[in-house]
């Protein structure tokens, strides 16, 4: 199995690129955001808890996210690998992922990081809110909180994966096609 992480701030284009990558390389795209939205739409206790946290621009607890990821790995053996989108978001989650994969003698193959400026994040998220009707994308305070949370909690992962030698930065402000082309060159 191959394990890739698609990394970047909210609005970097991870969801768009993930569809292309998953199709080209026969990977299961695992978006923690999609998994959580599914739970919220179903009105499960987890979904209700997640909705309250997400609406405030906060992250869902690690044990919940890690459990969902582990279950998804276990239930999907007919793919060439997995593309994680939105996970890990913290060093603690990255360490849990490493431990989970090491249990089966596996590791993260590459971290594909889409780099964009904060101003671009605001523009893209506001546009996405209009197109997709996502309420969690409409409030400027929520957007700013998500950006601040990304810088504070998620950016430290850059050094974590650089030290492991599997971090690859992709300029995310290019066209969709150019970003995908860079990603394909990086995956090889």
- The mean pLDDT value for 63-68 works out to 79
37 is a catalytic site residue: no
What was the pLDDT predicted at 106?
96
Residue from 89, 96, 110, 124 carrying the catalytic annotation = 89
What was the pLDDT predicted at 158?
93
- The mean pLDDT value for 111-140 works out to 85
Percent of the chain residues topping a pLDDT of 70: 99
What was the pLDDT predicted at 82?
97
What was the pLDDT predicted at 138?
74
128 is a catalytic site residue: yes
124 is a catalytic site residue: no
Q: What is the mean pLDDT of the chain?
A: 89
What was the pLDDT predicted at 188?
87
What was the pLDDT predicted at 117?
93
Least confident of 6-15, 42-51, 99-108: 42-51
Between 36 and 28, residue with greater pLDDT: 28
Residue from 134, 135, 164, 185 carrying the catalytic annotation = 134
14 is a catalytic site residue: yes
What was the pLDDT predicted at 15?
87
pTM as predicted: 0.82
Look at residue 137 and tell me whether its pLDDT is greater than 90: no
- Sketch out the chain's domains with CATH numbers: 2-187 (3.40.50.300)
Three-state DSSP at 110 gives strand
Per the CB < 8 A criterion, the answer to whether 172 and 116 are in contact is yes
What was the pLDDT predicted at 19?
95
Tokens in use for 148?
A: 């601040």
Residue from 2, 128, 153, 162 carrying the catalytic annotation = 128
Between 100 and 86, residue with greater pLDDT: 100
Three-state DSSP at 141 gives helix
What was the pLDDT predicted at 150?
86
């Amino acid at each position: 199995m191959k394990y890739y992480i698609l990394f970047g701030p909210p609005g970097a284009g991870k969801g768009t690129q993930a569809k292309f990558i998953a199709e080209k390389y026969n990977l299961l795209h695992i978006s923690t955001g999609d998994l959580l939205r599914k739970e919220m739409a179903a009105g499960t206790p987890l979904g209700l808890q997640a909705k309250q946290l997400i609406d405030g621009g906060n992250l869902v607890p690690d044990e919940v996210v890690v459990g969902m990821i582990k279950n998804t790995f276990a239930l999907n053996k007919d793919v060439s690998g997995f593309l994680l989108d939105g996970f890990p978001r913290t060093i603690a989650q990255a360490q849990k992922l490493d431990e989970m994969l090491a249990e089966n003698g596996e590791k993260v193959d590459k971290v594909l990081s889409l780099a964009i400026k904060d101003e671009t994040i605001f523009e893209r998220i506001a546009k996405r809110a209009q197109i997709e009707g996502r309420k969690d994308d409409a409030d400027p305070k929520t957007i700013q909180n998500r950006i601040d949370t990304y810088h504070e909690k998620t950016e430290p992962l850059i050094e974590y994966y650089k030290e492991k030698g599997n971090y690859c930065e992709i300029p995310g402000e290019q066209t969709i096609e150019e970003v995908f082309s860079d990603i394909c060159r990086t995956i090889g």
